[in-house]
Chain A
Amino acid sequence: MYVYLYDNFLRQKKYDSTIKAMETRLTDFGIAGKIIRLQNFTDAKAIIEDEIKKGVSGIIIVGNDSTFGHVLSRAATCDVLFGFLPVGSGNQIAEVLGIPVGVEACDILSKRRKVKLDVGWFNNRYFVSKLYIPPSKITVEYDEKFKVSTKDKVELVVCNLQPFEWKGKGQIHIIHPQDGKLEAFLRPVTGKGIFKDKYEEPSIFPFQEMIVSSRKPFTVEADGKQSKETKIKIKLARKRVEMVVGRERKF
């Protein structure tokens, strides 16, 4: 039996027809199940653990990248099969997983093509899509082998599943998801413009373990959740989450 976690934004009327069509398709496939609506203050992990005790065979996330990150960053430790039904805009992870947006995602779910995904880990928390540090004066040490430093502030993005694009010079940096490494993008700040900071072209470092430190606390944002740290250790957790994926996945 599957349990479906619906994001709160799906209450909007514009998604009614899509949700109804999806529910009909799931019933046709014989995989309809219990629906739980997530709120901002809902503890997804507690809900999932409760359902596992009741014997659920799969947890299906219904929403967008934000929903995906919100649920899995907390529930990655749960030993259960996860699925994803992307709805609406803000769905880049679905493309990486080979899952089409909308009703067609139900077909992928019915096929149950399972894969174990790598996830990122930092300071006792998992992150699935990406980790972001806004421009700060930080030092980065990779794999205990080499250090990277810059003269001034630097912006750091660590990507796991979320495809990465830094617009400006029209360049798209293609990451390689699930290749056994995380990708770190460092973009030093070179000066201040009238409206925003000026950045240099990014440096790219694939790694398995990284320590980011600074004398002053810096903001860390991972899968929508923010915190202030002075030192963080970022690692790759191999094959941590079992997920239903599509044939057209990017790995």
Chain B
Amino acid sequence: MFQKSTPELSNPIRESDTKHVQDDVETVVGPSVKVEGDFASEGNIVVKGIVSGSVKTSKTLTVEDGAKIFANVSAGDAVVSGGIRGNVKIGGRLELTETAQIQGDVNCGILSVAPGALMQGKITMKGVNLKDEASEKQDKKRISLGRTLSKAEEEENTAE
């Protein structure tokens, strides 16, 4: 009848007032900071200001809304909400949010484009393989011709 009530925590765990900045973010370019030159980092890069030159990292590049990069960009992964004027080469995933603008050629593994993002340039991605019947037949013919030619050359060589 009288059950023991489970004691409530007198001091419930509260979310800490101080938030820790992601400690895996290594380099941050602030909103009113301008970087000129070849900018390379071994860790993550977050750009909130302006970068002129080249930007290179093997990890994640984040370009925030309002940030501008006037440079060629190379990164492992990227999340773009600002503007890039230059060629973009991303080994993994490139994500463009609705405020992103890219003026340059893009080469990436995975592409995600949100409605509203603007792009102007060539997009190259690996793994595209679309052929119609006619071109498939041509390819097969080329391959077989190549094999017969090489066989004929071998016979000639042995005869000699």
Contact = CB atoms under 8 A, between A and B. Distances in A.
Given A145-B38, A145-B39, A146-B37, A151 B32 contact: yes
Interface stretch (A26-34, A80-88, A169-177): A169-177
B28 A149 contact: no
Contacts of B156: none
B36 interface: yes
A202 B31 CA distance: 9
B2 to A, nearest CB: 46
A35 interface: no
Contacts of B66: none
Interface in A191-208: 200-206
Interface in B90-116: none
A145 B30 CA distance: 18
Contact of A146 (B20, B21, B28, B53): B53
20 contacts: A146-B35, A146-B39, A147-B35, A147-B36, A147-B37, A149-B33, A150-B34, A170-B19, A171-B18, A171-B20, A172-B20, A173-B21, A174-B20, A188-B33, A190-B32, A200-B30, A201-B48, A203-B30, A204-B28, A206-B43
A171 to B, nearest CB: 5
Given A201-B48, A206-B26, 10 more contacts: A145-B37, A146-B37, A147-B37, A150-B32, A151-B32, A174-B21, A190-B32, A204-B25, A206-B41, A206-B43
Contacts of A188: 30, 32-33
Nearest to B53: A146
Contact of A174 (B23, B34, B43): B23
Contacts of A171: 18-21
Dominant secondary structure of chain A at its interface with chain B: strand
Nearest to B20: A172
A47 interface: no
Interface in A136-184: 145-151, 170-174, 176
B56 to A, nearest CB: 11
Interface of A: 145-151, 170-174, 176, 186-188, 190, 200-206
Contacts of A170: 17-19
B35 A148 contact: yes
B118 interface: no
B33 A186 contact: yes
B82 interface: no
B27 interface: yes
Q: Which residue, A145, A148, A172, A173, has most C-beta atoms of chain B within 10 A?
A: A148
B83 interface: no
- Which one of B25, B33, B36 has the greatest number of beta carbons of chain A within 10 Å? B33
Given A171-B18, A203-B49, A148 B41 contact: no
